[in-house]
Amino acid sequence: MEAIDGFVYAEPDKQHKLQTTYTPNLLGLSQFDGAWGGTLFGEGVVIGVIDTGIHASHPSFNDSMMPPPPLKWRGRCRSSGFACNNKIIGAMGFQNGTRAPATDDDGHGTHVASTAAGNFVDDAEVLGMAKGVASGMAPRAHLAIYKVCFQPYGCSGSDIYAAIDQAIKDGVDVLSMSISGAPDATFYQDPVAIGSLAAVEKGIFPCAAAGNDGPEINTVNHDAPWVLAVGASSTDRRIRAAVKLGNGMELEGESAFQPSSFDSTTLLPLVFPGMYGDLNASYCVKGSLDYIDVYRKVVLCWSGAIKDTEKGEVVYAAGGAAMIVMNLPLQGYTTFSEAHTLPAAHVSFVDGMKIRDYVYFNSTPTATIVFDGTEFGVRPSPAVAAFSSRGPALMNGGILKPDVLAPGVNILAAWPFDVGPNPSALATKTFNFESGTSMATPHVSGIVALIKKVHPNWSPAAIQSAIITSAKDLDLDGNIIADGNSNNTADIFATGAGQVNPAGALDPGLVYDRSASDHIGYLCGIGYNDTEVTMMARRRVRCSGVKAISAAQLNYPSISATLNSSMQSLTFERTVTNVGKASEVYLVRIREPTGVRVDLSTYQLKFSRVGQQKSFTVRLSMQGSHGLLAAARGKLEWVSKEHVVASPIAISFT
């Protein structure tokens, strides 16, 4: 291979995993007003979805009111099994270096594609729950589908790289990648990092899932600064299925299957199959209930080991009347409204322990499930999903990741198959609730499409800055966003800048911009050698001829530092570009992290024209005590009469 003209580098192939109606309104998007108003719903923008393919005949992908593909579009349908239209304007499958159909046999790709750019569908629901109008974040954007994930093999790195390369050639504007990376992978080993760097150089914006390995620290995926890493948050909607115990205690739970035939007034015997130490029975895995009497009983199961819906099938096959799924400790308060095959409720770890203790200390425990349908106003909201991967990032030199949060818990979107206890093969308008940073990512890629429509000449770095500096770190009650693992305040390495804010991102006032060459200088600056940077850049690079840029000095919209007794201060240089009003004055507002002093070279920025740039320095110094804190959160805001430009400050104490 080395003899082939243009050869730069070869890497052994690796497998990657998938990161698995209400949310547009929740984020301020409305058919009649709000941030959708001036964006034409993303019309003409092309979102490339790299995933499991698509169920093209779903109503979410009809091309009603859709214009033809833009003139720049060079892609086409290269997939057997379905024809493209003005919504799906390209489709191609990549499997082990060969062409493959782009039809979705999993559901994941269909779900994320409709979340990003699904068209409006009336009367969307899951088993009668959450009924309303479904749509993606950019319902008039076009979709280009690149299937790289195949059951049961996963998603190969070489296919991911080939798909990104094809998407660049085809002319997509946004890349949406709800696929895993590895927290400790070097950039030159990561096909998403390599491919996305090439995409950014062509003006294409890459979004990727931060990962589902939370709440453990240092688990965030896709931490390259040119990729927007998206964490998952909850919404204030719940499909309520409360557990009522024989002692009168009532505990909150969720389930999408809420049969009217179930008699919630009758208490049934309650049994925990794992009561005597049988681990398989405690998880209700297949075969574990064969010799346990669960007939016409409510069965208590730990979450984990297999899908919760599969547990329901096991309980139902064993004769159980209903099921309660208890979160494991690390799953905390994040619960799922899934399409079960029997009456069920999914409860938090804390409430699950109350139920388990009730079983342990009562000779004849009983329970029932009370179904209350769709509820709004759940608090705290948004909260970081317990599963959402956390920083600090391991490989990027200290840049804050994830960048932002987006809704990723119980997201209703298109599904290729009917769900629930009696699925119909003839059903066509099928939706499902899914959870994961996979579901959060297409929310942001759709929002990027809206920004691209309004600001077609903005660089990917400018769009990234607009999203980060406009994000909201407060929940609906004005408190710092909570962590779904504990319901306590989340640290900044869980939230990043906070919840994505479409309206703010469309009009950020100032942006922290970067050139494509800055990323090459950054790679040299954080210690990659000539060979490794060449692999990333896909062209020969000598770091001796490049201006090296440290992670701290990269013009990133967030500020992150590790401070200790030997590194008690650090200075950052930043440059902002005016994209707001021609004449605007900004004053600084600082929320200092605990134990850290923040000083600036200037406390006022005056602009007289659009496109004007101003530079300043930020010095972070240890001051006083940070106690036992391992991390601290702060914020640097530039405030004018029209705009608030917020940069999160993340501190690690070592």
- What three-state secondary structure class fits 316? helix
Please say if 626 is a catalytic residue.
Answer: no
CA–CA separation, 265 vs 288, rounded Å?
A: 29
- Residues paired with 100 in a beta bridge: 93
- Here the tokens at position 591 are 């929320």
The count of other CB atoms within 10 Å of the CB of residue 61 is: 26
- 276 shares a domain with 191: no
What pLDDT shows up at residue 24?
A: 86
Among residues 122, 107, 136, the alpha carbon closest in space to that of 419 is found at: 107
Among residues 374, 314, 306, the alpha carbon closest in space to that of 130 is found at: 374
Assess if residue 4 is contained within a domain. Answer: no
- Going from the C-alpha of 521 to that of each of 528, 529, 545, the distances in angstroms are 10, 11, 10
Q: Is the pLDDT of residue 19 over 70?
A: no
- 22 shares a domain with 156: yes
CA–CA separation, 29 vs 24, rounded Å?
A: 5
**Active-site hit among 16, 55, 108, 346:** 108
Residue pair 621/641 in contact (Cβ under 8 Å)? The answer is no
- 353 shares a domain with 300: yes
Q: What is the CATH number of the domain that holds 282?
A: 3.50.30.30
Among residues 234, 241, 233, 244, the alpha carbon closest in space to that of 374 is found at: 241
Helices (H) and strands (E) in the chain, counts: 13, 33
pLDDT band at residue 184 using 50, 70 and 90 as cut-offs: confident
Residue pair 552/398 in contact (Cβ under 8 Å)? The answer is yes
Please say if 108 is a catalytic residue.
Answer: yes
What pLDDT shows up at residue 12?
A: 56
Q: How many CA atoms lie within 13 A of 574 on its CB side?
A: 24
Residue pair 387/211 in contact (Cβ under 8 Å)? The answer is no
Q: What's 459-516 look like in SS3? A: CHHHHHHHHHHHCECECCCCCECEECCCCCECCHHHHCCCECCHHHHHCCCEECCCCH
pLDDT band at residue 82 using 50, 70 and 90 as cut-offs: confident
What pLDDT shows up at residue 269?
A: 99
CA–CA separation, 595 vs 627, rounded Å?
A: 8
Helix 516-525, helix 530-537: angle, nearest 10: 150
- 71 shares a domain with 39: yes
- Total domains in the fold of the chain: 4
CA–CA separation, 147 vs 102, rounded Å?
A: 5
- Going from the C-alpha of 431 to that of each of 136, 279, 304, 419, 441, the distances in angstroms are 13, 34, 24, 8, 18
Helix (H) or strand (E) holding 350, with range, is helix 349-360
Q: At which of 376, 403, 430 does a domain end?
A: 376
Assess if residue 10 is contained within a domain. Answer: no
What pLDDT shows up at residue 418?
A: 96
pLDDT digits (tens, 9 = 90+) for 199-252: 999 999 999 999 999 999 999 999 999 999 999 999 999 999 999 999 999 999
- Give the domain range for residue 299: 237-376
58 contacts: CB under 8 Å, gap ≥ 6: 110, 114, 414, 415, 416, 428, 429, 430
Assess if residue 448 is contained within a domain. Answer: yes
Question: At residue 321, what is the residue type?
Answer: A
pLDDT digits (tens, 9 = 90+) for 510-528: 999 999 899 999 999 999 9
Assess if residue 414 is contained within a domain. Answer: yes
Assess if residue 302 is contained within a domain. Answer: yes
Residue pair 229/193 in contact (Cβ under 8 Å)? The answer is no
134 contacts: CB under 8 Å, gap ≥ 6: 21, 60, 114, 118, 120, 121, 124, 412, 413, 414, 431
Q: Average pLDDT, stretch 586-600? A: 97
- Here the tokens at position 130 are 């959450």
CA–CA separation, 112 vs 209, rounded Å?
A: 11
DSSP assignment, residue 194?
A: H
- 99 shares a domain with 31: yes
DSSP assignment, residue 436?
A: S
pLDDT digits (tens, 9 = 90+) for 264-306: 999 999 999 999 999 999 999 999 999 999 999 999 999 999 9
CA–CA separation, 652 vs 16, rounded Å?
A: 29
| Cα Rg, the chain, nearest whole Å | 25
Least confident of 18-22, 349-353, 509-513: 18-22
- 542 shares a domain with 559: no
Residue 28 C-alpha from the chain's centroid: 18
What pLDDT shows up at residue 525?
A: 98
Assess if residue 290 is contained within a domain. Answer: yes
Please say if 51 is a catalytic residue.
Answer: yes
Q: Average pLDDT, stretch 585-593? A: 98
- 401 shares a domain with 490: yes
- 538 shares a domain with 614: no
What pLDDT shows up at residue 2?
A: 52
Assess if residue 1 is contained within a domain. Answer: no
**Active-site hit among 438, 445, 459, 560:** 438
CA–CA separation, 614 vs 636, rounded Å?
A: 16
pLDDT digits (tens, 9 = 90+) for 525-579: 999 999 999 999 999 999 999 999 999 999 999 999 999 988 999 999 999 999 9
Dihedral sign for Cα atoms in the order 176, 177, 178, 182: negative
For residue 607, report the phi and psi dihedrals to the nearest 5 degrees: -120, 145
Q: Is the pLDDT of residue 10 over 60?
A: no
Question: At residue 77, what is the residue type?
Answer: C
- 388 shares a domain with 295: no
pLDDT band at residue 33 using 50, 70 and 90 as cut-offs: low
**Active-site hit among 16, 51, 114, 403:** 51
DSSP assignment, residue 568?
A: -
pLDDT digits (tens, 9 = 90+) for 444-502: 999 999 999 999 999 999 999 999 999 999 999 999 999 999 999 999 999 999 999 99
What pLDDT shows up at residue 29?
A: 86
Least confident of 45-49, 301-305, 424-428, 516-520: 424-428
- 299 shares a domain with 272: yes
What pLDDT shows up at residue 273?
A: 98
- 258 shares a domain with 155: no
The pairing of beta strand 142-147 with beta strand 46-51: parallel
Question: At residue 356, what is the residue type?
Answer: R
CA–CA separation, 351 vs 273, rounded Å?
A: 18
- 161 shares a domain with 64: yes
Q: Is the pLDDT of residue 6 over 90?
A: no
What pLDDT shows up at residue 7?
A: 45
Q: What is the CATH number of the domain that holds 611?
A: 2.60.40.2310
Q: What's 29-54 look like in SS3? A: ECCCCECCCCCHHHCCCEEEEEECCE
Q: Is the pLDDT of residue 90 over 50?
A: yes
The count of other CB atoms within 10 Å of the CB of residue 482 is: 24
Q: Is the pLDDT of residue 5 over 80?
A: no
Assess if residue 584 is contained within a domain. Answer: yes
What pLDDT shows up at residue 20?
A: 38
- What three-state secondary structure class fits 184? coil
Q: Is the pLDDT of residue 379 over 90?
A: yes
DSSP assignment, residue 248?
A: S
What pLDDT shows up at residue 627?
A: 79
> pTM above 0.75?
yes
- Here the tokens at position 559 are 């500020």
Q: What is the CATH number of the domain that holds 200?
A: 3.40.50.200
